[in-house]
């Protein structure tokens, strides 16, 4: 399911080519697009200036998240030349790619629950990934994956639920049964939401009716309980599931389609502009080496699957 919604993480980054891959499930026409310039960032109505794709993880510091006075030093991504960590030695490891929205889901859950000392981050360079990752860690060769109790688990939403259920920290689901049921409905909708928005991006036409309907559905969902900027009235795994993608859509639609996804959608606007406690300290800690140019990597990743041409 994840590969349909955002195929960049499972696949290696590939340079732009003149023809679509034979196996590509997205038979879209070639579209020449311009990568966003750093000086244009202010026009995307983002709360923090010069947001990078990895900056999505700011939302790890939501509502009741435990604060930490110690800044986490993130490791450099491991490449094909890197040696593997000492696998299955009792250490819990979360394997991620910093720019991958699926990996960011699990990363957000880990940080929100204050598990920086319990779950070690291991970054993988998807453009030059080590062979041992597939051979010794996760045969699916995707991120994220979690090494815990001598087992490796995958699939981003499954990992978010697993982290929430198997580790201490604030719960990512409310106690209210009706909210839990609504959460499952929204989680089941994530792939359809992403598909509608992505297909509209690669189309030469205006923003599609399907994309508009998908955004309206999220707008309505955010207002269902009328208890704040989050989908269930409190920060939850539903917000984790959507925010890495919504932030990208805001950038992509503004730059490619000249379309503001928040216009006429006040709940979505509040969601994006929500004040995340400890956001600045988390930004300084986790993302100091990231900059707006990392969006280019996201655009180039699309080329392999959506047959785009990067300008």
Location of structure tokens 């297909």: 199
- Residue 276, SS3 per DSSP: coil
Return the pLDDT at 228. 77
Delineate the domains of the chain, giving CATH numbers in brackets: 2-56+173-310 (1.20.1050.10)
3-state helix vs strand vs coil in the chain, percent to 5: 45, 10, 45
Location of structure tokens 């453009």: 127
pLDDT tens sequence across 165-212:
999 999 999 999 999 999 999 999 999 999 999 999 888 899 999 999
The 3-state secondary structure of 124-169, one letter per residue: ECHHHCCHHHHHHHCCCCCCCEEEECCEEEECHHHHHHHHHHHCCC
Return the pLDDT at 99. 86
Predicted TM-score (pTM) of the model is: 0.74
For 66-75, 237-246, 255-264, 294-303, which range has the lowest pLDDT when averaged over its residues?
294-303
Residue 94, beta-bridge partner list: 121, 146
pLDDT tens sequence across 10-43:
533 332 332 333 333 333 333 333 333 433 333 3
What's the distance, CA 211 to chain centroid?
19
pLDDT band at 293 (very low <50, low <70, confident <90, very high): very low
Instruction: State how far the Cα of 242 lies from the Cα of 190, in Å rounded to an integer.
Output: 7
Q: How many residues does the chain have?
A: 311
Instruction: Kindly state the percentage of the chain with pLDDT values over 70.
Output: 66
Give yes or no for a contact between 208 and 261, defined as CB atoms under 8 angstroms apart. Answer: no
pLDDT tens sequence across 79-113:
999 999 999 999 999 999 998 999 999 999 999 99
The kind and range of the H/E element at 117 are none
Q: Which residues contact 243 (CB under 8 A, 6 or more apart)?
A: 56, 59, 108, 271
What the block records as the tokens of 106 is 């699990």
Ranges of H-type helices in the chain: 2-5, 101-112, 131-132, 156-166, 177-188, 190-202, 209-222, 237-252, 266-272, 279-286, 294-306
Positive or negative: CA dihedral 10, 289, 249, 22: negative
pLDDT tens sequence across 47-75:
333 344 444 444 444 333 454 546 788 99
pLDDT tens sequence across 164-178:
999 999 999 999 999
């Amino acid at each position: 399911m994840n590969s349909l919604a955002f195929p960049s993480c499972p696949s290696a980054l590939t340079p732009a080519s003149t023809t679509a891959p034979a196996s590509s499930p997205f038979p879209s026409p070639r579209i020449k697009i311009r990568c966003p310039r750093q000086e244009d960032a202010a026009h995307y109505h983002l709360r923090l200036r010069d947001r990078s794709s990895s900056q999505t993880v700011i939302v790890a510091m939501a509502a009741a998240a435990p604060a930490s006075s110690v800044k986490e030093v993130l490791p450099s991504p491991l490449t094909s030349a890197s040696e593997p960590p000492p696998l299955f030695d009792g250490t819990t490891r979360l394997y991620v790619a910093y720019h991958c929205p699926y990996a960011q889901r699990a990363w957000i859950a880990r940080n929100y629950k204050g598990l920086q000392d319990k779950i070690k981050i291991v970054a993988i360079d998807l453009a030059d990934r080590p062979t041992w990752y597939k051979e010794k860690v996760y045969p699916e060769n995707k991120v994220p994956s979690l090494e815990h109790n001598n087992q490796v688990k995958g699939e981003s939403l499954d990992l978010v639920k697993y982290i929430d259920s198997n580790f201490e920290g604030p719960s990512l689901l409310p106690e209210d049964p009706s909210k839990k049921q609504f959460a499952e409905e929204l989680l089941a909708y994530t792939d359809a939401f992403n598909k509608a928005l992505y297909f509209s991006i690669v189309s030469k036409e205006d923003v599609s009716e399907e994309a508009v309907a998908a955004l309206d559905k999220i707008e309505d969902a955010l207002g269902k309980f009328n208890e704040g900027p989050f989908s269930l009235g409190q920060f939850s795994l539903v917000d984790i599931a959507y925010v890495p993608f919504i932030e990208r859509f805001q950038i992509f639609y503004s730059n490619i389609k000249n379309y503001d996804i928040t216009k006429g959608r006040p709940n979505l606007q509040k969601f994006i502009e929500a004040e995340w406690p400890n956001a600045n300290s988390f930004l300084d800690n986790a993302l100091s080496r990231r900059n707006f140019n990392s969006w280019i990597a996201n655009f180039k990743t699309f080329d392999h699957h959506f047959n785009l041409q990067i300008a």
